[in-house]
Amino acid sequence: MKILVIDDEESMRHMLSVILKKEGYDTVVCEGAESALKVFEKEDFDFVLSDIRMPGLDGPGLLKKIKKGRRGRPLTSATIIMMSAYGTMDVALECMKLGAYDYISKPFKVEEIIFTLKKAEEREKLKRENERLKEERAVDTGEIYTEDKSMLEMLEFVRKVSDYDTTVLVTGETGTGKELIARALHFSGKRAKGPFVAVNCGAIPENLLESELFGHVKGAFTDAVRSKVGLFEEAQGGTIFLDEIGELPLELQVKLLRVLQEGEIRRLGDTLDVKIDARVVAATVRDLEAEVSKGNFREDLFYRLNIIPIAIAPLRDRCSDIPGLAKLFIDRYALKYSKGIEGLSDKALNKLLSYGWPGNVRELENLIERAVILEDSDILSSDSFPAFGIRGAKNGTKGEAAGDGCDLDTISIKKGSIALEKRLIVKAMEITKGNKTRAAELLEISHRALLYKIKGYNL
C-alpha cells in the first residue's frame, strides 16, 4: 500500500514516515498541498494523510482541487484522511463533504493512525469487491443457477422489485443463498452503482452491534477515541443487508424500526440525527412470526421488514437443480485446483439425488470442492463421496437413509414424486419419438436438465 503524507511540520512528516514504513506502507512525504498536487501528476497512491491547516493551500482547498481534477476526472482516487490540531467538527464535516474518508485530531496515538488506515483498507477492499461483482455480472441474478420453475419465478420477482426502495425480507434454510438474492436485488436495480454492505447481526457481540450499525462519536464510551461512521452511513445510496436479523436484540429492534420509519439514524453518544438513504434487505433462517408470538421479536418491526417477502426453497425441494449445480461446482473447482475432472458418474449423480441436503447448496458446493481436491481420475465416482449421506439418516432404516432427498426406495410423497417424474420423462420421450429438445419443451425444463435426468435415472 502506498501512502502520501502532507504536513508543513518536518518533525510530523518524519514521525509519520517512520511509523508508516514500520507498518509496511510505501511512504512519500510532502511539505504542503501545492507540492502534493505536483506529485499527483507523477504517482498514484492508495491513501493520503493530510494536515488541514497549512500555509497557502489548506486541507479543504486541496480537497477541492483534487475533486475538480482535470478533464472531468479527480487528480487521485486515493482514500483521503485529514488531521489537524486546530480543526473543529465543522471543519471535519466540510472535509467529509469534499471527499475525505475520515478525520483525526492531533495529538494522536500511533494506534489511532494505524487503526484508521486499517479501517480505510477494509473500505477499499469492499469497494473492490463490489467492482469485481459488477464485472462478473452478479447483477440481474447472474450468479444464481436454477432450472426449477418456482425458483425461476422467484428470480423474475426479484428483478421486478429490484428498483423499489422498500424493505425486503429473505427467508430460507442455511445455505440456500439468501445473500445471493440480496446481491441480486441490489445489482439488478437502480442502486447498483452504490455500495452493498453486508452485516451478520449474529456474528457481532451485542455490546458492539449498535456502534457497528449506527456509528458513534468520540467519547461515547471508554474506548471511543474517535468518531466512527456506522454501516448504515457506509451504505448511503446503496443497500445494507442485515443477515440473521432474528438475532437482533430487542433494544436494537426498536432503533432499527425508527430507522425504517423515519429514514434517520443517531450515532451512539450524539444528539443529532443523520438522514439515511439506504435500502434495507434483511434475511433470517428463523420463523419470525413464531418469534413474535414468543416475544423474541417485535411485531411492528416484523411487519415493517416483511413488506416484500422472498422465500427460498431448500435444495431437497428442487432436486432438478442438483445435476446442474454439481456440474457448475465441478467446473469451478477443477479450474481453481487445475484438475482435469469433467463430471459425475451415473452412480455418483444418483447418490447426490438421494441425499436430503440439510446444508442445501452450500453443503453441495463444499462436498464437490472436497471431492475435486481428492479425486485423481477425470470423473467423480460414487467412491468420491465415501462418508456422504450420514447426516441425512434419521432412524437408520434403508428407506430413510437419504434423509428428505429424492430416493425412490421410500413411500414418502417427496421421494415418490421422483417415480412420477421418471414416468413423465419416459412418456414425453415416447410422444416425441426420442426428440429430447421437444421432450424438454413438453416437460417445461431445459434441454440440459433433461439430459442430466435421463442420465441420472438411467432411462
Per-residue pLDDT of 55-71, as tens digits, reads 889 888 999 988 888 76
Domains of the chain by residue range: 2-121, 136-313, 316-456
The answer on pLDDT for 403 being more than 70 is: no
By C-alpha distance, which of 69, 65, 81, 3 is closest to 33? 65
Q: Which residue has the higher pLDDT, 19 or 74?
A: 19
The answer on pLDDT for 257 being more than 70 is: yes
Contact 274, 160 (CB under 8 A): no
pLDDT value of residue 434? 83
Q: In the structure, what pLDDT confidence band is assigned to residue 178 with cuts at 50, 70 and 90? A: very high
Q: Give mean pLDDT, residues 238-243.
A: 96
What is the C-alpha separation between 194 and 300, in angstroms, rounded?
29
Topology match between the domains 2-121 and 136-313: yes
- Candidate CATH numbers 3.40.50.300, 3.30.1370.10, 3.30.56.10, 2.60.40.10; the one for domain 136-313: 3.40.50.300
Q: What are phi and psi of 272, to 5 degrees?
A: -110, 145
Q: In the structure, what pLDDT confidence band is assigned to residue 204 with cuts at 50, 70 and 90? A: confident
Phi-psi region of 137 (alpha: psi -120 to 50; beta: other; left: phi over 0): left
- Candidate CATH numbers 3.60.21.10, 3.40.50.970, 1.10.8.60, 3.40.50.300; the one for domain 316-456: 1.10.8.60
pLDDT value of residue 162? 93
- What residues pair up with 198 in beta bridges, in sequence order? 241
Determine the angle formed by the axes of helices 59-68 and 33-40, rounding to 10 degrees: 20
228-229/215-216 β-pairing: antiparallel
**Does domain 2-121 fall into CATH 3.40.50.2300?**
yes
The answer on pLDDT for 246 being more than 70 is: yes
pLDDT value of residue 409? 45
State the amino acid at position 309 in one-letter form.
P
Q: Give mean pLDDT, residues 341-346.
A: 90
The torsion angle over the Cα atoms of residues 204, 208, 214 and 220, rounded to 10 degrees, is: -170
The answer on pLDDT for 84 being more than 70 is: yes
The answer on pLDDT for 29 being more than 90 is: yes
The answer on pLDDT for 406 being more than 70 is: no
The residue length of the chain stands at 459
Q: Give mean pLDDT, residues 47-55.
A: 90
- 459: which 3 cell numbers? 432411462
The answer on pLDDT for 423 being more than 80 is: no
Angle (CA) 65-71-77 rounded to 5° is 55
Q: Which residue has the higher pLDDT, 182 or 417?
A: 182
pLDDT value of residue 397? 31
Contact 39, 16 (CB under 8 A): no
Picking from 364-368, 386-390, 412-416, which range would have the lowest pLDDT averaged per residue? Answer: 412-416
What pTM was computed for the model? Answer: 0.57
Mean pLDDT (the chain) is 84
Q: Give mean pLDDT, residues 445-457.
A: 76
Q: Give mean pLDDT, residues 370-397.
A: 71
The answer on pLDDT for 394 being more than 50 is: no
Q: Give mean pLDDT, residues 28-43.
A: 90
pLDDT value of residue 388? 59
Contact 288, 246 (CB under 8 A): yes
